[in-house]
Amino acid sequence: MREETNVATYTYEHSPDHGAKAGVLAYLVTSAVVLLLMMTFGLLMRLEQAQWISIGALRFYELLTLHGAGMVGIAAIAGAAIMWHFLRQYVDLSPRIFVANLVLFLAGVGMVLASVLLGHFHGGWTFLYPLPGKSMGTWTPGAAALFMGGMLVIGVGFVLLHLDIARAIVARYGNFARALGWPQLFGHDDGKAPPPTVVASTMVTIVNLVGLVVGASILTMMLVNLYVPSFDIDPLLAKGMIYFFGHVFINATIYMAVIAVYEILPRYTQRPWKSNKVFLASWTASTLMVMFIFPHHLLMDFAFPTWMLVMGHIIGYLNTVPILIVTGYGALMIVYRSGIRWDMASKLLFLSLFGWAAGAMPAFIDGTITVNYVMHNTLWVPGHFHTYLLLGMVTMVFGFMYYLGKPDHEADDRLIDRIAFWLFTSSVLGFTMSFLYSGKESVARRYAVHLPEWVPYDRIASVFAALVIASSLLFVVRFFSRIGLARRDYQRAPVAGSALV
């Protein structure tokens, strides 16, 4: 934290606002449509728990499985769209592979949908071994295979995408170490470290390639086990591999989406967000931490090696530092007395960093072993991850959509958008707080039917969920109505206060 004594001088360099390629828009449209659908599934689940509708346990767990798989999938797709859009300014990416990933994603989604809606698979998006193979006759091995095959196809698409990104980064910067800015981090900071977008993309590529290979390995093992039960898998090893993949993959979506903040907020404030030593150190640390933190999902598996559980506990605390002190604080720095012109894009991007940082608080507390002992798998868990995913990651995507669709840099937002912003902010907070409070009250997660004592919290959450969907719908409709603008190259970011461009 002593970079001020040994730091290169950074000045803002204006970057033109590029329109999005058709592929990026296809990713965003896919994400937006699936997001609204999955939000609706989420609302249906909360309404069922609130006893305001009656869809039955089977349908509930099918929706639970789709909601989890769908949300993780579109978070990855939307995050990849943001990363690809900005990264192509610095490296030469392949549009064909980018599109191939979307095609494979849609194929995988089709398999997952068929598995759940036709085959009634409802083993959860985490497909925790050996549940997919032991359904008590409620789904067939074929349905389980279709689900896991679909996940595998989606994973293959992302491996291809990340391999292409890795190729492009290595072609431009020589190796990952340089792309992570290690010469500047461990040597003299000459101010020539790769830009934040490249550093973040390198981090995501490294961790996702490792995570996806581990995920594909356990999926393949489980697919073999489905048809050859004598091919036995250690359940603890399987759980460790699944959570390693799952943790890395879902967290990588935030690290991809935050690139929108790194790229767009400087355009609005005409201030630099550069890769100085602290920034580089935090991303290198995050690269390691996001991979070694996974045992915090297994804190209640007493048979897991204790040293690894303690490692998960400790890294859970350390992991908050880059989020709070580097990225969150970085946003505050460039906005403070910047004369920023607040519009929907800048407001949503600023809000998204609040959502990420705020959600990290109950998350690291949950990663404390003694807390986890009485809060693991209660609604506290969806409470914190909905905070940093919905108010963080998804809000970054909405901010990016508003940025792409802004008619011109002087355009004012409509009143209904402004209202929707505050409705979204307050209803997401109400929604996540009702989850967190339910967790405090020990309400178990993933229950189709709640005990009578829990129902009042479900009713409050249902109301907030409906309002979240209403405001999100407005954001998406606005993006769709401006999609023609999104492809064009023109200045979108308004000039801040008295800044000279």
Partner 1 sequence: MQAIAWQISLVLMAFVAFGFAFVAIRSGRREDDYAPLQKRAYRLRTRLFWVVVLAFGPAMIYTLFELPYGASRASPGSGPAQVVEATGHQWRWELSRDRVAAGQPVEFRVTSADVNHSFGIYDADLRLVAQTQAMPGYTNTLRHTFGEEGTYRILCMEYCGLAHHNMLAEIHVGGE
Q: Which of residues 264-283 bind partner 1 (CB under 8 A)?
A: 271-272, 278
Query: Of residues 148-207, which lie at the interface with partner 1 (CB under 8 A)?
Result: none
Q: Is 460 near partner 1 (CB under 8 A)?
A: no
What would the DSSP string read from start to end of 380-444? HHHHHHHHHIIIIIIHHHHHHHHHHH-SSTTPPPPHHHHHHHHHHHHHHHHHHHHHHHHHHTTPB
Minimum distance from residue 116 beta carbon to partner 1 (Å)? 13
With vertex at residue 464, the alpha carbon angle to CA 462 and CA 467, rounded to the nearest 5 degrees, is: 110
Minimum distance from residue 120 beta carbon to partner 1 (Å)? 10
Report in angstroms the alpha-carbon separations of 482 from 74, 285, 401, 475. Answer: 21, 39, 9, 11
Q: Is 235 near partner 1 (CB under 8 A)?
A: yes
Give the type of residue at 457. Y
Q: Is 104 near partner 1 (CB under 8 A)?
A: no
Q: Is 215 near partner 1 (CB under 8 A)?
A: no
Q: Which stretch binds partner 1 (CB under 8 A): 36-44, 159-167, 211-219, 351-359?
A: 351-359
Nearest CA among 439, 463, 483, 490 for reference residue 43: 463
Residue 378 φ/ψ, nearest 5 degrees: -95, 180
Closer residue to partner 1 in complex, CB, 209/314: 314
Cβ partners under 8 Å of residue 120, min gap 6: 58, 62, 138, 139, 143
Query: Of residues 55-74, which lie at the interface with partner 1 (CB under 8 A)?
Result: 57-58, 61, 64
How many residues form the binding site for partner 1 (CB under 8 A)? 93
Minimum distance from residue 65 beta carbon to partner 1 (Å)? 10
Closer residue to partner 1 in complex, CB, 99/423: 423
SS3 content of the chain, % helix, strand, coil (to 5): 70, 0, 25
Nearest CA among 469, 221, 492 for reference residue 344: 492
Q: List the one residue from 234, 410, 412, 489 that touches partner 1 (CB under 8 A).
A: 234
For 378, the 3-state DSSP assignment is strand
Contact 482, 345 (CB under 8 A): no
Relative orientation angle of helices 344-366 and 380-388, to the nearest 10 degrees: 150
Q: Is 499 near partner 1 (CB under 8 A)?
A: yes
Closer residue to partner 1 in complex, CB, 195/367: 367
Query: Of residues 240-269, which lie at the interface with partner 1 (CB under 8 A)?
Result: none
Minimum distance from residue 60 beta carbon to partner 1 (Å)? 9
Nearest CA among 277, 380, 388 for reference residue 328: 388
Nearest CA among 239, 259, 268 for reference residue 199: 259
Closer residue to partner 1 in complex, CB, 234/408: 234
Report in angstroms the alpha-carbon separations of 48 from 59, 353, 382, 475. Answer: 10, 32, 17, 26
Relative orientation angle of helices 235-269 and 57-87, to the nearest 10 degrees: 50
Q: Is 297 near partner 1 (CB under 8 A)?
A: no
Closer residue to partner 1 in complex, CB, 21/297: 297
Q: Is 117 near partner 1 (CB under 8 A)?
A: no
Minimum distance from residue 431 beta carbon to partner 1 (Å)? 14
Q: List the one residue from 8, 55, 321, 483 that touches partner 1 (CB under 8 A).
A: 321
CA distance 97 to 161: 6
Q: List the one residue from 136, 187, 190, 230 that touches partner 1 (CB under 8 A).
A: 136
Extract the tokens encoding 87: 């990264």
For 86, the 3-state DSSP assignment is helix
Q: List the one residue from 48, 366, 413, 458 that touches partner 1 (CB under 8 A).
A: 366
Q: List the one residue from 97, 257, 340, 428 that touches partner 1 (CB under 8 A).
A: 340
Q: Which stretch binds partner 1 (CB under 8 A): 102-110, 178-186, 254-262, 300-308?
A: 300-308
How many C-beta atoms surround the C-beta of residue 476 within 10 A? 19
Closer residue to partner 1 in complex, CB, 137/187: 137
Contact pattern for partner 1 over residues 26 through 55, marking x by CB under 8 A: ------------------------------
Contact pattern for partner 1 over residues 406 through 445, marking x by CB under 8 A: ------------------------------xx-xxxx-x-
Q: Is 199 exposed, middle or buried (0-12, 13-18, 19+ CB in 10 A)?
A: buried
Minimum distance from residue 164 beta carbon to partner 1 (Å)? 36
Contact pattern for partner 1 over residues 469 through 498, marking x by CB under 8 A: ---------------------------xxx
Q: List the one residue from 317, 412, 416, 490 that touches partner 1 (CB under 8 A).
A: 317
